[in-house]
Structures are given as structure tokens and as C-alpha cells.
């Protein structure tokens, strides 16, 4: 059996084998009360797409790209303005950084691994790095502090020798990975505000961060070994082995799993738990009377 495991699928497998099996092995239908919400996902995809096709430079016609993104990613008017502002913020943040694009969306096509690296870029002196782009409502300190051991970044870094060979880069000048985050501000357009004014206000409120993780702090081999171990487990599940259940993953990302009923017997909306509140009948201290 041939299975190529992406990082996102391996992360799903690591979180809950049961959920992975429903999604990747059995193609189980999602619960009828599960609410699909692709809005945030589509905003991120549109942002990535515009930067990819413009090779991380100012587009000749961003209006044309936004028009295509509106249709392809099912964006509302406010979403289009937000994507526009985020691209503007990103370009402001990277302007003058001295980096040129080597490749956007580099495909990792390993027998057991598949994935796409957002960006490979280099300086004029030959130093180069791998960049992963993220969009987020905010940047959390815990995320930043653990970047050196981020499994996705380290897995990408494992393929640096292959990338160097393909594009004639010097491995001795490989710097490591950049973790680039552009935030999504939540602002409504004012009645007397033009589209351009709204976009500029959104861009001013957005944040751009370019965190650099030196290769000497990363663990590429460990990330690869972990991925291969998960790949082996994926093959076992595809061959019919019983998956383990992780009930801590039932409410990941603050919403119920789309396969809730298969672990709990009922859909999420059907589960009722009685709350028998206990009230202590202690005398009220004199000082509170």
C-alpha cells in the first residue's frame, strides 16, 4: 500500500487516530450538526495565493488578483478588503529585507511524505532560508517560544540538502527557517469610509512578524524520524488495525469534532448532561453581614 503522509495529516494522526481513520481511511460522513466554517481558511488561502502568483512582490494589478480570489475562494466584500490589507502589510514588512525569491510552493515529493514549502529565498551573498507563512488572529508567546522545536519547520529543514541540490544553493549558507505571521484585524468598514481608506486602516492595525530560527537550534532528523513513525502507524490503520481514541481531541480548536457521534453515541447537539449544582449551607461570617 502506498500512502504519502502530509504534515497536517501526521499532526491529525498524532492528535487522534480515530479522527484520522474516519477522515483518511474510512471517508466517514460528518455529523449532520457539524458546522462547516471555511471563512478563515479561505482568507488564508487567498492571501497565500496572491503572494505566490506575485512571487512576494507588489502585484502589477492587485485588483485583478483580488477579483479572481473573490470567486475562487468564495470571499465576501469584507474578506476581500482584509486580504488586500494583509498582503499590503506583508509587503510593507518584507520591503528592503534583501531577500529574493528562489521558489514559491516547493513540492516535497518523498515516497512517504508530501507537502509544500511556502517560500525559499536567498540573499545576494548566497545565504538562504526556508519560510513558512501563517495567518492568525494574534501571535501567542507560547507559539513563538517553541518554534525551535516546531515539527513542521524542522521537517522542512530536513529537505534543505535536496533543495540546495535542485537550485544550486550552498548548504553551508543555509540559515534555517523563517516563520512569517500576518495577523487579521477585526474592523468593520465605517459608513463614510471608502474601500481604500478601509484597507489602509486594516493594514495599519494588522501586524507582521518574521521570526528566524537558526538551523543549529532545529531538529530536522528528529522531525523526520517522528514523521516516519507516524507514517508506519498510518499504514497499519489503512490495513485495518483498530485506531486509538483520544477524547482530549474531541473539542480541538474550540469546536466539536465532526465525527463526535462515532465516539460518544450521539451527535454533539444531542448530548445532554444534567448539572446538579451543590450549594454549601454555611453560616455567613459576621464581617459579611
Beta-strand runs (E) in the chain: 100-109, 114-122, 128-136, 174-183, 208-214
**Residue 198: its H or E element:** helix 195-205
* pLDDT at residue 37, as a whole number: 74
Distance from C-alpha of 41 to C-alpha of 73, rounded to nearest angstrom = 9
Contacts of 39 (CB under 8 A, 6+ apart): 79
Domains of the chain from N-terminus onward: 7-238 (3.90.320)
Measured in whole angstroms, the distance separating CA 138 from the mean position of its chain's CA atoms is: 13
Indicate the pLDDT class of residue 246, thresholds 50, 70 and 90: confident
Whether 280 has a pLDDT exceeding 90, the answer reads no
Q: Which residue has the higher pLDDT, 289 or 92?
A: 92
Residue bearing cell 544550486:
168
* pLDDT at residue 287, as a whole number: 60
* pTM score of the predicted model: 0.89
Whether 288 has a pLDDT exceeding 70, the answer reads no
* pLDDT at residue 113, as a whole number: 95
Tell me: the pLDDT tens digits for 188-234? Answer: 999 999 999 999 999 999 999 999 999 999 999 999 999 999 999 99
Q: What percentage of residues in the chain have a pLDDT greater than 90?
A: 83
- All 3 cell numbers of residue 184? 487579521
Tell me: the pLDDT tens digits for 67-120? Answer: 999 999 999 999 999 999 999 999 999 999 999 999 999 999 899 999 999 999
Neighbouring CB atoms inside 10 A of 255's CB total: 13
Kindly tell me the burial class for residue 205, based on how many C-beta atoms sit within 10 Å of its own C-beta (0-12, 13-18, 19 or more): middle
Distance from C-alpha of 175 to C-alpha of 170, rounded to nearest angstrom = 10
* pLDDT at residue 76, as a whole number: 92
Helix axes 77-94, 195-205, angle to 10 degrees: 50
Residue 62 contacts residue 47 (beta carbons within 8 Å): no
Distance from C-alpha of 153 to C-alpha of 148, rounded to nearest angstrom = 8
Tell me: the pLDDT tens digits for 149-191? Answer: 999 999 999 999 999 999 999 999 999 999 999 999 999 999 9
Tell me: the pLDDT tens digits for 106-115? Answer: 999 899 999 9
Distance from C-alpha of 116 to C-alpha of 136, rounded to nearest angstrom = 19
Distance from C-alpha of 159 to C-alpha of 221, rounded to nearest angstrom = 10
Q: Mean pLDDT in the chain?
A: 93
Three-state SS for 40? helix
* pLDDT at residue 1, as a whole number: 65
Q: What percentage of residues in the chain have a pLDDT greater than 70?
A: 97
Tell me: the pLDDT tens digits for 3-19? Answer: 899 999 999 999 999 99
Amino acid at each position: 500500500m502506498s500512502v504519502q503522509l502530509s504534515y497536517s495529516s501526521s499532526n491529525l494522526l498524532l492528535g487522534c487516530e480515530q479522527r484520522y481513520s474516519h477522515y483518511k481511511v474510512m471517508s466517514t460522513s460528518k455529523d449532520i450538526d457539524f458546522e462547516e466554517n471555511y471563512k478563515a481558511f479561505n482568507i488564508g488561502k487567498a492571501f497565500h495565493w496572491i503572494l505566490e502568483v506575485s512571487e512576494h512582490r507588489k502585484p502589477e494589478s492587485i485588483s485583478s488578483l483580488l477579483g479572481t480570489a473573490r470567486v475562487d475562494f468564495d470571499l465576501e466584500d469584507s474578506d476581500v478588503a482584509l486580504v488586500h490589507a494583509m498582503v499590503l502589510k506583508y509587503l510593507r514588512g518584507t520591503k528592503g529585507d534583501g531577500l529574493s525569491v528562489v521558489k514559491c510552493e516547493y513540492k516535497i515529493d518523498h515516497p512517504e511524505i508530501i507537502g509544500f514549502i511556502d517560500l525559499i529565498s536567498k540573499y545576494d551573498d548566497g545565504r538562504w532560508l526556508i519560510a513558512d507563512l501563517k495567518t492568525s488572529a494574534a501571535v501567542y508567546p507560547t507559539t513563538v517560544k517553541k518554534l525551535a522545536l516546531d515539527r513542521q519547520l524542522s521537517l522542512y529543514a530536513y529537505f534543505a540538502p535536496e533543495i540546495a541540490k535542485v537550485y544550486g544553493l550552498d548548504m553551508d549558507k543555509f540559515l534555517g527557517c523563517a516563520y512569517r505571521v500576518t495577523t487579521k484585524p477585526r474592523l468593520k468598514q465605517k459608513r463614510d469610509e471608502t474601500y481604500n481608506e478601509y484597507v489602509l486602516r486594516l493594514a495599519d492595525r494588522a501586524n507582521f512578524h518574521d521570526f528566524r530560527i537558526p538551523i543549529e537550534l532545529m531538529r530536522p532528523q528528529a522531525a523526520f524520524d517522528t514523521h516516519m513513525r507516524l507514517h508506519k502507524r498510518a499504514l497499519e490503520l489503512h490495513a485495518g488495525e483498530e485506531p486509538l481514541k483520544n477524547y482530549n481531541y474531541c473539542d480541538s480548536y474550540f469546536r466539536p469534532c465532526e465525527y463526535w457521534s462515532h465516539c460518544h453515541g450521539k451527535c454533539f447537539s444531542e448530548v445532554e448532561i444534567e448539572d446538579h449544582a451543590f450549594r454549601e449551607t454555611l453560616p455567613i461570617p459576621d464581617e459579611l453581614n
